[in-house]
Amino acid sequence: MDLHLKEKVFIVTGGTKGIGSAIVDTLVQEGAYVVIVGHHELDNQHKLQSLHEQGYEAWAITAELTHIEDCQKAIAFTLDTFHRIDGLVNNAGINDGVGLENGDPGRFVLSLQRNLVHFYAMAHYALPALKQSQGAIVNIGSKVSLTGQGHTSGYAAAKGAINALTREWAVELLPYRIRVNTVIPAEVWTPLYAAWIQQFPNPEKKLASITQHIPLGKRLTRPEEIADTVAFLLSDRSSHTTGQLLVVDGGYTHLDRAIDG
């Protein structure tokens, strides 16, 4: 299926690693122009070099998204380069473990800045261009917003707010035909996840204890599966889909964990 993304302009925050990197890969493979907004200059350079070696081209800007002025700078860079924006993928964030008992109000506010505030800032500054293109916003959420996790109040609050903002923005932006959706992953096999698994005394046993509860296929979600869903939601193939929270997790969050697959 042609997603009609060729020469469309998309911004992906946190696009150098994990899910964000997979989203960038999928979009450039569809012929899109992608601007990566990354925290580290070296990571940006490595990602661009990797794409170049595969025959693809992308652009990158280094930004600290907890600084509102850097969000504005990223949008300005994209408009200066392409004079349009067709879609925004708010992906950057970190499960920083700021809990109720082991955190404090200052760290909680910082967690919201890391995981929520820049979603609003990026969308706000991109909005005039998105109005012109009748573009799309895709937010990357987390199952934590639906299930809780424990000891991560800041991240959970941010991801819960992202779900609410998705519905809110979908309503507010209806007159401009801008679609807004969220993709919610659960257990995704990224390099960061792999490193986390290796911290356990028996990594294989820990991984098996998780995958046995994932109904569809008894395996973790691949980053490419998240990316494919994001690409679809950015495309006009999903032209009548807005305000949705799409959980891509092999049924882990919602299906009965006792199902014998």
- pLDDT score at 182: 98
Same structural domain for residues 148 and 203?
no
CB 90 within 8 Å of CB 123: yes
Q: What is the CATH number of the domain that holds 164?
A: 3.40.50.720
Q: What is the pLDDT of residue 6?
A: 98
* Residue 155 a catalytic site member: yes
User: Is residue 250 in a domain?
Assistant: no
Domain containing residue 210: 188-220
Residue 255 lies in a domain: no
**Residue 247 reports pLDDT greater than 60:** yes
Tell me what pLDDT residue 255 has: 78
- Output the pLDDT for position 258: 57
- For residues 94 and 108, membership in a common domain is answered with yes
Are residues 192 and 173 located together in one domain of the fold? Answer: no
Average per-residue pLDDT in the chain? Answer: 96
SS3 32: coil
Q: Is 213 inside any structural domain?
A: yes
pLDDT band at residue 97 using 50, 70 and 90 as cut-offs: very high
| Domain assignment present for 33 | yes
253 falls within a domain: no
Residue 259 inside a domain? The answer is no
pLDDT digits (tens, 9 = 90+) for 167-202: 999 999 999 999 999 999 999 999 989 998 999 999
The reply to whether 214 and 229 lie within a common domain is no
Are both 97 and 212 inside the same structural domain?
Answer: no
Q: What pLDDT is stored for residue 192 in this prediction?
A: 87
Number of structural domains the chain divides into:
2
How much is the pLDDT for 183? Answer: 98
Q: Are residues 73 and 144 in the same domain?
A: yes
In a domain, 249, yes or no: no
Is 200 in the same domain as 74?
Answer: no
The residue annotated as part of the active site, out of 56, 120, 125, 155, is: 155
pTM: 0.96
Is 138 in the same domain as 174?
yes
Q: Is the pLDDT of residue 261 over 80?
A: no
Same domain, 106 and 226: yes
Statement to judge: residues 126 and 54 lie in one domain: yes
**Shared-domain flag, residues 228 and 208:** no
Residue 87 lies in a domain: yes
